[in-house]
Amino acid sequence: MKRRALCLAALMSSTLMVPVFAADVPEGTKLAQDQTFTYRVLDEFSSFDPQVVEDTYGSEIVRDLFEGLYNQDANGNNVPGVALSHEVSDDNMTYTFKLRKDAKWSDGKPVTAGDFVYAWQRAVDPELASPYAWYMELMSIANGAEIIAGEKPITDLGVSATDDHTLVVNLSQPLPYFDKMVSHATTFPSPKWAIDAHGAEWTRPGNLVSNGAYVLTEHVPKERSVREINTNYWNADDTVLEKVVTLVIGDDAQGLTRFRAGEVDKTDIPAGQYPALKDEFPQEAYALPRLCNYYFTFNLDSGPEAFKDVRVRQALAYAIDRNVIVDQVLQGGQFPAYTFTPAATANFEVPSVDYAGMTQAERDEKAKALLEEAGYGEGGKELSFSYLYNTNEAHQQVAIVATQMWKQKLGINVTLENQEWKVFLENRGAQNFEMARGAWCGDYNEASTFLDLLTTPSGYNDGKFTNARLDELMVEAKSSQDTQPLYTEVEQILADEMPVIPIYHYSTNMMLNASIQGWPVDNVEQTWYSKDLFKVAAE
Amino acid sequence: MLNYTLRRLFTVIPILLVLIIFSFYLMRLAPGGPFTSERPLPAAVMANVLERYGLDEPLHVQLWTYIKNIVFHFDFGPSFSQKDRTVNDVIAQGFPVTLTYGFWSAVFVLVCGVPLGVIAALRHNSFWDYTMTGLAIFSQIFPNFVLAPLMVLLFTLSWGLLPGGGWNGGQWQYVIMPAVALGTSYMAGVARLTRGSMLEVLGSPFIRTARAKGLPERTIIIRHALKPALLPTLTYMGPVFVYMITGSVFIDVFFSTGGIGQDFIDGAYSRDYSILLGLAILYSVLTFTLTLLLDLLYAWIDPKVRSNM
């Protein structure tokens, strides 16, 4: 049961009756007078339009301004948002969501199933042309792909409202994790009347009508945005933070300076500074697991001939001492990786692949033997290639350390090459590399968001790895109720074939003012909602 | 002089046109595009996006549409990275910010630089002269990317006097550090230039004549010496002023002012062609206008120039 320390007794009696998922303030907490939370973002938001937004910072704001079918709790599990519950048909192809009746837009209109239908049709509408239409495609909503391709009208989308509070979704194929995907910004409802009235300018403060816990009250692009509590929100009485301010600060070090000056409550930690800051601010420096991986990818398509030999790939993977990279180079609480999927992923048990269990000395031994067997290394052919990464200090450090390990242990010469982000993407996507850096952050909290990347049809399989069995398993996983054995086999194939070298799994490094409480530290997607936070008074 | 001004105004049109065409093609030479992303968009989604922004047309058609929209609608196109805004919105929001601190920075440069130079020249080879020259050299070796963090360290972290960044509608507390950090090294330059040319003018025959006539020293300095002595400073300040009001990328990023300098950087990284092109046009129009104004100012100060117009 939730307990709240706000003194209004009448309010308490009403909140105790139904389970609520708002700021969970422990009894006896002294809240600060000024419930304003100010945090730093790196750059300007791509949009406040839920169907258009594509960046992390923008999504954070959109999650506060709008509310979708489900929200996530502190552990990343679904909790009711506009939807109270859902039912799934026996063939797993139809989802029926029951919506709450007390949900309102900030202008007082009720939130209806029709608002979701409108929004979802909008997301795939070729006329709006949102880059995030791909997300709707990923959700396998019936006719989504055809509508995007312009072959069917948007009204054919597999989503309908049987009444104001019932939303029915038809899928084109069963998707066991479909309900996990509806806490994403692209699926939030949008207010047709406001969009019709203001057109492209509907997301400006004053024009923006939203159904989330906050409304947008100020926006100075590239400088600040302010959102304030939405009194029409169904759970406004349990929302504690009154005002949330973002400041755009493009420079990491400057973000930290302004954190020190007390101008922001939250900022990212500049690369490499976590240990020092943890000493200085033990209560405020955080390193949290994050749903992202970091790996090196072999170009198996047009890369060096040697990469086609699995023994060479394994040797290179074994010879990297991941503990050195994580503990001595990055020092930000990252996790050494031997599998492609991070351990933090929901419903995923990390399989015990062979080389993860060895000591580094054993791995080095094995690496030398494998390389020799393949005819390279000492006494054999010389192996040299280039490694491509996008320009960034941390990537450079990882590259230097890893290639140095290869040189010392295996006598391999690697040339380092770095390129600006878009140039890098273009070249990596066109297989203009020998070995390249890769990284991925999960779109949703399920292993397929990672493992799908290495299937043959994947648009992100830049190394052009192909394995028929793996493709088969991933197709099977789409409709399976018990995915763990399938994913275990996929990871096993990856460890045997080694098309990519997993290096580490990311962590989020941030400074968070000790007065801000309720942060979902265990949510690996870092999906946070201002309505769950509160600010305690200084002692 | 009106004739001269009109002639100059007409030459700007072909220059701008060449600039637009050149930048338009140059930008597209860079690998990647505005919608290149880590997760490549599915072909159908990409096709819709490109069509919406007209990027599926051949380049020369895109260019023609672009120029047409500017000429007939004064519309510089949509921003690809800030999807809720047009380039007009972005510039309308960012330029006033940059203009404000750029203007105060220029005021700081002139108000501090010119008197420093004049005093140094008048007290030639004295303690004052050496102090001023020393100070000028000292500030000139502090580029803004060294000075700005230093100022934040002192004024924000140590003494808590000024906010470490932001803009807040342009309140004076937020303007001081960007303006001073941006201007200091130019201020030093102006002081040294003024000192040099003042010394030269003070040694010239017409000043000797003035002195022989028995004019008071104050009149000699202010009415006769200062005007010609400021000519080199003016020449120097023209481009510097354009640079200041169009935004220093560093100052905008470091102090998070929200000025257009930030857009230059972001636009380049995100391949936001329309933002970059819009800013390039703004930059050149400003350069042109200010150099024209400067030339007219020259004519007003120097009769020799006037007769040549």
Average pLDDT across chain B, whole number: 89
B245 to chain A, closest Cα gap in Å:
18
Q: What is the pTM of this model?
A: 0.88
Most A CBs within 10 A among B38, B85, B155, hence the mutation to make, goes to B38
Confidence of residue B217 (pLDDT cuts 50, 70, 90): confident
Comparing CB atoms, the residue among B33, B42, B94 nearest residue A222 is B94
Residue B64 scores a pLDDT above 70:
yes
Comparing CB atoms, the residue among A45, A49, A261 nearest residue B164 is A261
Amino acid B238: pLDDT: 80
Q: Is B169 helix (H, G, I), strand (E, B) or coil?
A: helix
Taking contacts as CB-CB distances below 8 angstroms, the residues of chain B near A128 are: 52
Percent of chain B that is helix, strand, coil (3-state, to 5): 80, 0, 20
For residue A375, report the phi and psi dihedrals to the nearest 5 degrees. 90, 15
Residue of A nearest to B78 (CA): A200
Beta-carbon contacts of residue A484 (< 8 Å; ≥ 6 apart): A347, A348, A349
Amino acid A362: pLDDT: 97
Q: Which residue in A60, A178, A50 sits closest to A115, CA to CA?
A: A50
* Residue contact B93–A221, C-beta within 8 A: yes
Amino acid A21: pLDDT: 52
For residues B237 and A526, what is the distance between their CA atoms, to the nearest angstrom?
A: 50
Alpha-carbon distance values, B103 to B110, B139, B164, B253 (Å): 11, 20, 20, 18
Alpha-carbon distance values, A194 to A157, A203, A400 (Å): 22, 9, 53
**Sheet architecture: strand order including A159-163:** A83-88, A94-99, A166-170, A159-163
Record the tokens describing residue A314, joined without a space: 């394994």
Q: Which positions of chain A have pLDDT values less than 50?
A: 1-20
A459 to chain B, closest Cα gap in Å:
6
* Residue contact A203–B84, C-beta within 8 A: yes
Residues 207-236 of chain A with CB under 8 A from chain B are 220-224
**Alpha helix (H) residue ranges in B30-152:** 43-52, 59-73, 87-122, 127-140, 144-151
At A418, which amino acid appears? N
Confidence of residue B247 (pLDDT cuts 50, 70, 90): low
* Residue contact A221–B167, C-beta within 8 A: no
For residues A287 and A506, what is the distance between their CA atoms, to the nearest angstrom?
A: 10
* Phi-psi group of A526: left, alpha or beta (phi > 0 → left; psi -120 to 50 → alpha; rest → beta): left
Residue of B nearest to A438 (CA): B38
* Residue contact A423–B41, C-beta within 8 A: no
Reported ipTM: the value is: 0.87
Comparing CB atoms, the residue among B44, B166, B258 nearest residue A149 is B44
Most B CBs within 10 A among A57, A125, A130, A223, hence the mutation to make, goes to A223
* Residue contact A426–B81, C-beta within 8 A: no
Residue B164 scores a pLDDT above 80:
yes
For residues B54 and B173, what is the distance between their CA atoms, to the nearest angstrom?
A: 44
Residues 504-523 of chain A with CB under 8 A from chain B are none
Beta-carbon contacts of residue A228 (< 8 Å; ≥ 6 apart): A214, A215, A217, A242, A243, A244
Confidence of residue B223 (pLDDT cuts 50, 70, 90): confident
Beta-carbon contacts of residue A45 (< 8 Å; ≥ 6 apart): A53, A55, A57, A58, A61, A225, B82
At A535, which amino acid appears? K
Tell whether the torsion through CA atoms of A143, A64, A277 and A30 is positive or negative. negative
B59-78 per-residue burial string, b: 16 or more CB within 10 A, e: under 16? eeebbeebeeebeeeeebbb
Residue B228 scores a pLDDT above 90:
no
Mean pLDDT for the stretch of residues B239-254: 84
Tell whether the torsion through CA atoms of B141, B143, B146 and B147 is positive or negative. positive
Residue of B nearest to A420 (CA): B269
For residues B139 and B109, what is the distance between their CA atoms, to the nearest angstrom?
A: 12
Beta-carbon contacts of residue A19 (< 8 Å; ≥ 6 apart): A1, A2
Residue of B nearest to A425 (CA): B38
Amino acid A18: pLDDT: 39
* Residue contact B49–A131, C-beta within 8 A: yes
Mean pLDDT for the stretch of residues B211-227: 88
Show the CA angle centred on residue A232, arms to residues A228 and A237, nearest 5°.
80
Domains of chain B: 16-73 (no CATH), 88-307 (1.10.3720.10)
Amino acid A9: pLDDT: 35
Q: Which residue in A243, A244, A238 sits closest to A6, CA to CA?
A: A238
Comparing CB atoms, the residue among B31, B41, B157 nearest residue A261 is B157
For residues A52 and A131, what is the distance between their CA atoms, to the nearest angstrom?
A: 7
Cβ contact A311:A373 at 8 Å? yes
Tell whether the torsion through CA atoms of A512, A514, A520 and A521 is positive or negative. positive
β-pairing, A384-390 with A413-419?
Answer: parallel
Domains of chain A: 3-243+513-535 (3.90.76.10), 289-508 (3.10.105.10)
